[in-house]
Amino acid sequence: MKRCNEATFRLLNSASLVGFSGGLRFYLAFLLAGVAPNLLLVVAASLIIYATYTLDRSLDNKEDEVNHKEFMGASKTAGLAASAIALMVGISLFFSKQLFSPPVFPFIVGILYSRGIPVGKRCIKLKGGSGIKNLVIGITWGGTIGLVVLSTGMVTAALVIAIYFGMKLFINSTIFDLKDVEGDLAAGIRTLPIVLGEKKLKYLLFAICIVQHMIIVVAMMTGILAHAGVFLAYSFIVSGAVILYYSPTFESDASWLRRKFRILAINGEPIALVALSIVLPY
């Protein structure tokens, strides 16, 4: 019973940091657009992100038997209930601001991502397929952030911000796949780290990182986005460091800092940027 409760707690808490840091990306998007952040929408976004990832981890996936053994024995019902509650509250907050598409779109994609699309006797999962999952994640969350910014009436800024965060989340999700190679191989899922190998993957991700930040530079120089030199520098340095230096060996290192490098760098980036925006206004 105790083991079940501990596993359930881990399951319910596993997406908390992802949801919190994900919501802060909406805060940063408002700053980039040069408008005051809507804190209600930031909270709503955090809840939607938490609901989506908790749903995925509450459903049975073969690769999770290897990648997430800490959830074994957890109450899936509790995970589904937490996901449903967070979703309903998040949607209500978005709807209160007359925003209807941003909260619904990512959750629908999340269901398709987790359970797949039945086609005859087959089930096509968005999780599989040489980077398709990462592309879906980038489009989903980058597009959702863009839709929220679009509500301010800034069409070009919304498009640029959607592209930036779409690329950012494509990179981040691919980095996370490096850790899960063993479980993905067991489940027959061909992720980019499996298809390309670590060296070629890093070349690809660093090239995307350079293009991503060049887009932001041009947008700032042309006045599409607010000037945010601190944001740009920190984002490029952290993204570049993760791409160049992270590898699965970090996860097995005895040093706590090295083992947490991936989480601190990726999920901690929005938190650090928001803190910097308060201390050093963009």
Q: What is the CATH number of the domain that holds 211?
A: 1.10.600
Q: What is the number of other CB atoms lying within 10 angstroms of the CB of residue 251?
A: 15
* Residue appearing with tokens 């269901």: 111
The secondary structure of residue 109, as a DSSP letter, is: H
How far apart are the C-alpha atoms of 42 and 47, rounded to whole Å? 9
* Residue appearing with tokens 């699965």: 248
pTM of the model: 0.86
The secondary structure of residue 119, as a DSSP letter, is: E
pLDDT score, position 66: 47
In 3D, which of 159, 265, 172, 168 has the Cα closest to residue 211?
168
Question: Given pLDDT bands bounded at 50, 70 and 90, which one contains residue 148?
Answer: very high
Residue-wise pLDDT tens digits, 47-104: 999 998 888 788 755 555 444 556 666 678 888 999 999 999 999 999 999 998 888 7
Higher pLDDT, residue 185 or 117: 185
Q: What is the DSSP string of 138-187?
A: HHHHHHHHHHHHHTTT-HHHHHHHHHHHHHHHHHHHHHHHHHTHHHHHHH
Question: Given pLDDT bands bounded at 50, 70 and 90, which one contains residue 280?
Answer: confident
* Whole-Å CA distances, 66 to 72, 207, 236: 10, 31, 32
| Residue 15 belongs to domain spanning | 2-279
In 3D, which of 260, 179, 246, 177 has the Cα closest to residue 206?
246
Number of domains in the chain: 1
* Whole-Å CA distances, 29 to 37, 109, 113, 192, 277: 8, 22, 25, 28, 12
Strand partners, 117: 124
pLDDT score, position 133: 82
